[in-house]
Amino acid sequence: MNFDMAAEMLAGEGIETRTIRVCDDVAVGAPDRRDERRGIAGDVFVIKVAGGAAAELPSLEEVARVAAKAEANTRSMGVAVSPGSLPESGRPTFELGDDEIEIGMGAHGEKGVKRQKLSTADDITNQMMAAILRDLPYAKGDEVALLINNLGASTMFELLIVNRRLRQILEQEGITVYRSFVGSYLTSQEMAGFSISLMKLDPELKHYLDLPSTSFGFTSL
């Protein structure tokens, strides 16, 4: 709704826009109904690539084409071990038992699609990667950009434990990590957990991903 309103305001000023919806969350909707999915941390890759394209390409149509390609090649999934909270009230966005995890979190702390008993980081990573890899699908010989995103209250140590297992899985699948990003990119207040995003790369997407950028949310030099 907010993006639609922004596009209408810009149109009123004579500025042309294009909308590229990010639908990277594999926990929601079937692969053949991606338009029903929501966008989570994979939008970081899409926005980065779109920004790089906008810096170099001569037309809005070309920028939209590159952004759409980035979106089509990105898949993500999140998991939380504690809920986020609403900044105004401090109330949790949902209830979660001490021995439970929530699968398929929304970008703003929304409740996931299912919950299960707490297990090891390796087991959870295995489960998430199985869903992500079969969805595009990713295949032996692919090169990917990897994003391990802190949902808000996880430590870098915990994220790196996930990274260790992720690298093992990708090596077993014959998938090469071209670049990796580990940290806080798309967060919700007090939510402990993480999301995994993979973007399948080609030379064009590599180029725009690699262009330097400096911002509060994403810096890459």
Positions annotated as catalytic residues are: 108
Other Cβ atoms less than 10 A from the Cβ of 8: the count is: 10
Residue 144 backbone zone (phi > 0: left; psi -120 to 50: alpha; other: beta): beta
CB 24 within 8 A of CB 183: no
Cα gap 162→148, rounded to integer Å: 8
Pairing of strands 143-150, 176-183: parallel
Residues 6+ apart with CB under 8 A from 211: 51, 52, 55, 56
The number of angstroms, rounded, from the C-alpha of 185 to the middle of its chain's C-alpha atoms is 9
Cα gap 14→103, rounded to integer Å: 43
> Measured on CA atoms in the order 43, 128, 98, 156, is the torsion positive or negative?
negative
CB 201 within 8 A of CB 209: yes
> Measured on CA atoms in the order 214, 77, 164, 176, is the torsion positive or negative?
negative
